[in-house]
Amino acid sequence: MGRQPCCDKVGLKKGPWTAEEDKKLINFILTNGHCCWRALPKLAGLLRCGKSCRLRWTNYLRPDLKRGLLSEAEEKLVIELHSQLGNRWSKIASHLPGRTDNEIKNHWNTHIKKKLKKMGIDPLTHRPLLPSANNELHQEQQQEEDKVVDEEQVEEKKGVMNTVDHKETDAFLRSPGFCVDDVPMIQQHEMLVPSASSTSSSSSSSSSSSSSSMHKVEEIQLPSWMEWPESTCLYGLDDLSGWDFISDPFSQCQRIALDQEAWKFELF
DNA sequence: AAATCGATCAACCGCAGCAGC
DNA sequence: CGCTGCTGCGGTTGATCGATT
């Protein structure tokens, strides 16, 4: 036996809400609260199903809602939370006061997804997209190709990055994990991070930290639950802050920023 | 000015989880 | 324990609007 529909759909209105309906719903909820969504439309004099009323209230009419686009900080938080929680929009929304799951879901699908793809990141896995994922090369061929790094691109990268250690950078750029579409893959031993005394500093202070305070990433104590990845993805430079951050699995614990100028990392 | 296209986002739908009986 | 009803969640749709041709 199938379940009954949430409401008797005959004679009920669907589609966009009118200002009049909004007014009725707001007035009713502000005076009576929403004890039972199923009964609410009748009591409020609305020809809508309870589900529709609930959605309208939670996604649009609630007085504590923030309107407008997500800020840069909110967007970053959404990306970070998504890497941990996946498509659990309500959980993600609970970390962003005044934002709804629907709003975040929409923003993810229309803005963030594109942004990440542009950066060479798979929005589903938060890992780098394979540069030739769509062609039909055999995996072995692909691996072989990955080893061959375009000399021009290497030179370009070298020009952009004023490295602390050119030998290391060279090794990095030529490493098998290096992804040609601006998504460098680096190994743990290739990372430099500030020593413990400077890890709590803000990103602004980091740029002034000297290279002598840097150390190899393997010296970091990771939480027991966290596994170090085989390779880690750095993704595109943030236009506003000038800082980059590493995706999964670091985001589960701490982000590591890349200062392109000095080619060093900072935990924050 | 009209037609077309793509982006956006409010709203809908179906399902799962939970509580009460 | 199983059934039923309610709520909330996540995926999807479709109306609308602005940009482009």
Give the nucleotide nearest to A15 (CA→C1').
Answer: B11
SS3 state of residue A144: helix
User: Quick one: A61 exposed, middle or buried, by C-beta within 10 A (0-12, 13-18, 19+)?
Assistant: middle
Give the separation between CA A108 and CA A34, rounded to whole angstroms: 29
Is the torsion defined by CA of A183, A189, A197, A84 positive or negative? positive
Q: Which two tokens stand for residue A152?
A: 């021009």
User: Quick one: A96 exposed, middle or buried, by C-beta within 10 A (0-12, 13-18, 19+)?
Assistant: buried
Task: Please give the single-letter amino acid code of residue A152.
Answer: E
| pLDDT tens by residue, A29-55 | 888 887 788 888 888 888 898 889 989
A32 beta carbon to strand C: under 7 Å: no
Q: Which of residues 1-30 of A touch strand C (CB under 7 A)?
A: 1, 3-4, 6, 15-16
A184 beta carbon to strand C: under 7 Å: no
Residues A83 and A58 in one domain: no
| pLDDT at residue A205 is higher than 70 | no
A140 in a structural domain: no
Q: Please list, in sequence order, all residues whose beta carbon lies within 8 angstroms of the beta carbon of residue A123, skipping any fewer than 6 positions away.
A: A82, A108, A112, A113, A116, A117
Residue nearest to nucleotide B9 (CA to C1'): A106
Q: How far is the CA of A172 from the C1' of B8 (A)?
A: 41
A50 beta carbon to strand C: under 7 Å: yes
Task: Please give the single-letter amino acid code of residue A169.
Answer: T
A170 in a structural domain: yes
Q: How far is the CA of A61 from the C1' of B16 (A)?
A: 26
A241 in a structural domain: yes
The continuous run of DSSP H or E covering A79 comes out as: helix A72-85
| pLDDT tens by residue, A64-73 | 888 788 888 8
Q: Which two tokens stand for residue A98?
A: 């005044």
Q: How far is the CA of A34 from the C1' of B21 (A)?
A: 23
| Residue-level pLDDT at A118 | 79
Lowest-pLDDT range of A22-36, A119-133, A208-222: A208-222
Give percent of chain A with pLDDT exceeding 70: 44
User: Quick one: A261 exposed, middle or buried, by C-beta within 10 A (0-12, 13-18, 19+)?
Assistant: exposed
| Residue-level pLDDT at A244 | 38
Give the separation between CA A145 and CA A129, rounded to whole angstroms: 15
Residues A259 and A150 in one domain: yes
Q: Which nucleotides of C are covered by protein (CB under 7 A)?
A: 3-12, 15-16
Give the nucleotide nearest to A59 (CA→C1').
Answer: B10
A198 in a structural domain: yes
Give the nucleotide nearest to A55 (CA→C1').
Answer: B11
Preceding peptide of A249 cis, ω within 30°: yes
Residues A185 and A214 in one domain: yes
**Phi-psi bin for A21: left (phi > 0), alpha (psi -120 to 50), beta?**
alpha
Residues A189 and A211 in one domain: yes
Host domain of residue A205: 146-267
